Amino acid sequence: MTQQKITKKLKLPNVFILLLIVFFSCALLIFANFYTIKILSANRAYVNGESHYSKGQKDAVRHLITYIYTQEEKELQLFEKELKVPQGDGIARIALSHNGDDEVIKNGFRAGRINEKDLDDMIWLFKYFKSVSFLADAIKEWEEGDYLIHQLALVGHEVAHEINVSKLNLAEKQFLLQRISSISDKLTINEQEFSNTLGEGCRKIKDYLILTNIFFVLIIIGSVSTYYSKMVKKLLSSKKEIEVKNEDLTLANKELDKFVYSASHDLRSPITSLKGLIEIAQLEDDISQIKDYLNLMYKSLTKQDQFISDIIDYSKNKRKQVVIEPVNLTDLIEDAINQHEHIKSVKKITIKKEFEISNIHSDSLRLKIIFNNLLSNAIKYSDENKEDMHISIKTYSADKFHKIEITDNGIGIKKEFQSQIFDMFFVTNNKNKGSGLGLYIVKEAVENINGIITVHSESNIGSKFTVTLPKLYET
């Protein structure tokens, strides 16, 4: 797998994680707002219930006091009726504290004049949040209030009993009024504490909700901003890639035009030459002259064969994907040498081999193209005027690189040509020896496997080509 593919695989999950963060943040925000509103609604219902509780208690006290002075039975009935409001809430509280039946709880709240729509939320809040500090404090106040309501009810029964048995004198009436007033005052304080506790709880919940909303909104904004930042970077990167690809495509089109023109010319040239030689040979009776013509035909066909081979290498290098795998350099070089054994001049050349490394990780196809072309050039451009013709092939490692050197003592390359030898279809004055594609293909192949190629050459002394490959894929 190439480094680019690995990078893409690492990048995609990051974008996916950002989208997940936004999704879960929105879900948690909705969840938090829903349940906060539900808590506040139930809290409001309890505060509203307290107002009914307080009004019922105060009305009951008023009717009881009136009953003491008027001794009218109607006032006693009204006292008992109004007292049922806080008593109903007390029944609901006791049932809630003991996980009683929901219907019993609801009937208690109904007696306390609670709105039917608020019943489920009030039960839910008590059951699941009774241990929360503000609600626990309110429940404690509620419990104390219920105890005082019970005391008030006992006073009411005592008053009714005394009136039924005998008339109350002024001192007894004053004593009862003091008891009722004391209970009522305590209940007023108790009811205020209950409301204040729930009100303080509401304010805290509101503050927590605001902070929660700010927190999640910042997360969402941050995630969305990061997401869009990545998308913008990706778009800019894609734009740059497209621009680079357009430039590469423009260059490739120019290269293709040049290739088609030169290739068509070089393909037709040997055919034209062969036709001319065949026509001349048909008119010739001298056997030795005919042999000369045949030799020229052979050279023309050899050149044609080399050119077609170069085109095939060019196509393979351009179209086939780079495949990184373990490669035996020694075997590849030996194969390249064996493929050139049929050339007559090879027998006069001494090939020296110095292999310090053998196994590397690279692309075997490109390495074959590189070795075949460099070796072919070293043989083709050997200096036949020299008694000792030799080619040296050396492999070794240097720091983080593998190096391959192919050195010859051939005719060399003139300095004015050395900057152009890797251009497509560039040939020196020895036009009959090459197609001008070989070194271009070699450079392209080397670059495809992230390497570089350099040349050091002197005319009539020889050339040294050095291929440097990074150890990118070594384990």
Q: Is pLDDT at 325 greater than 80 in this prediction?
A: yes
Output DSSP code: residue 383.
-
> What pTM value is reported for the model?
0.50
Q: What is the pLDDT of residue 363?
A: 85
Q: Is pLDDT at 305 greater than 80 in this prediction?
A: no
Residue 20 DSSP SS3? helix
Residue identified by tokens 């075949």 is 372
Q: What is the pLDDT of residue 299?
A: 66
- Amino acid making up residue 444: E
Tens digit of each residue's pLDDT (9 = 90 or more) over 229-248: 878 888 888 888 888 888 87
The rounded percent of the chain whose pLDDT value lies above 70 is 84
Tens digit of each residue's pLDDT (9 = 90 or more) over 158-201: 999 888 887 778 888 899 899 999 999 999 999 999 989 988 88
The helix (H) or strand (E) run that includes residue 396 is: strand 389-398
Tens digit of each residue's pLDDT (9 = 90 or more) over 115-144: 999 999 999 999 988 888 888 999 999 999
Q: How many residues does the chain have?
A: 475
Tens digit of each residue's pLDDT (9 = 90 or more) over 425-468: 777 655 555 667 778 888 988 998 889 999 999 988 999 999 99
Quote the CA–CA distance of 193 and 138 in Å, as a whole number. Answer: 8
Q: What is the pLDDT of residue 10?
A: 40
Question: Radius of gyration over alpha carbons of the chain, in Å?
Answer: 51
* Measured CA angle at 439 (ends 436, 445), to 5 deg: 130
Beta bridge partners of 462: 458
Q: What is the pLDDT of residue 75?
A: 93
Q: Are 129 and 139 in contact (CB under 8 A)?
A: no
| 446, two tokens | 């080397």
Q: How many CB atoms lie within 10 A of CB 135?
A: 22
Q: What is the pLDDT of residue 188?
A: 92
Least confident of 240-249, 288-297, 321-330, 427-436: 427-436
Q: How many CB atoms lie within 10 A of CB 205?
A: 17
Quote the CA–CA distance of 162 and 167 in Å, as a whole number. Answer: 7
Mean pLDDT of 206-232: 82
180: left (phi over 0), alpha (psi -120 to 50) or beta: alpha
Torsion of CA 137, 143, 146, 150, to 10 degrees: -140
Q: What is the pLDDT of residue 259?
A: 56
Q: Is pLDDT at 323 greater than 60 in this prediction?
A: yes
Quote the CA–CA distance of 43 and 205 in Å, as a whole number. Answer: 10
pLDDT confidence of 6, banded at 50, 70, 90? very low
Quote the CA–CA distance of 329 and 358 in Å, as a whole number. Answer: 5
pLDDT confidence of 8, banded at 50, 70, 90? very low
Residue identified by tokens 């001192």 is 171
Least confident of 107-121, 218-232, 305-319: 305-319
Q: Is pLDDT at 3 greater than 50 in this prediction?
A: no
